[in-house]
Structure 1
Amino acid sequence: MKHKLFTFGLVSILLASGIGTLSGCSDEDSSSESSHTVTKVNHKKSSSTNSESNEESSSGSKSKVPSEYENALATAKDYDEDQPMSKAGLLDQLTSKDGEGFTQDAGQYAVDHLNADWNENALKCARNYLKEEHLSRSDVQEQLSSSIDDGGEGFTSDQVQYAMSHLND
């Protein structure tokens, strides 16, 4: 019985720690992935972080910004350092149940206060698709501009145009 409980506990810990996969734009080598596979990086510290944040904000924190919003912003900064994403892609990662699980309001606060260079993120993502995924320029453009729901990166048309015009710089 102890062995079964230990095994169940170990599996639960591994799942809660966020072993997972998102963005084909990560700077890591993805040569073993198919050319259109999107690799997801999960930054979950623990499954209780978000609920603890909610408890702290309701228990009279001195900060005017709820701690869940601050945690979402800190997580967004981690993503922005690790891999280039669009604003839409980052918001989806922060708020989806398969991602970080923050509330929509906390995720929106995070992407609005991140001060990311979305044009540069689009360019980095485009370069990665060319170098690591070996996509054609037209496929890169399509991947960057396609919506998150369609498996794309969700960059705006201006950001895609910037990336495509600076690929050879």
Structure 2
Amino acid sequence: MEQARGAAQSYLDMNGFSRAGLIQQLSSSAGDQYPKDVATQAVDSLNVDWNAQAVRAAQSYLNMDHFSCSGLIEQLSSSAGDQYTKAQASYGAHHTSACG
């Protein structure tokens, strides 16, 4: 589990990730391929401010493209997107210029 925990922390250091998105990255066949239970334990063992991660992800999207407030929230919360909870996505978006 320590390897998965280290990988999770490395991803968080590079980019904004949601809990679900990070678990998926660690456990998917296109990602690190850890067993899902190991990935989940690794992510849950970290002390992560998911709202702050949502702000980072939201800002990253705005650095690449233009989004409306609602479009950014949808991107952050979509199962095909970042998989933040609606509350986290809303928090992240509302701490950027998209919702200002």
> Greater relative contact order: 1 or 2 (C-alpha under 8 angstroms, separation 6 or more)?
2
Aligned partner of 1:155 in structure 2 is 84
Per-residue CA deviation, residues 76-129 of structure 1 (Å, 9 max, x unaligned), is 000000111100000000000110000111101111012111101101111111
- In structure 1, the gaps of 5 or more residues are 1-68
Q: Over alpha carbons, which structure has the higher Rg?
A: 1
Aligned partner of 1:112 in structure 2 is 44
Aligned partner of 1:29 in structure 2 is none
Taking structure 2 as the reference length, the TM-score comes to 0.90
Q: State the superposition RMSD in angstroms.
A: 1.4
Dislocated runs of 4+, deviation >4 Å? none
Identity among equivalent pairs (%): 40
Taking structure 1 as the reference length, the TM-score comes to 0.55
- Matches of 1:167 and 1:135 in 2, distance apart? 11
Task: Give the Å deviation of 1:160.
Answer: 1.4
- In structure 2, the gaps of 5 or more residues are none
**Is the 2:25–2:31 Cα contact (8 Å) retained in structure 1?**
yes
- Matches of 1:90 and 1:145 in 2, distance apart? 14
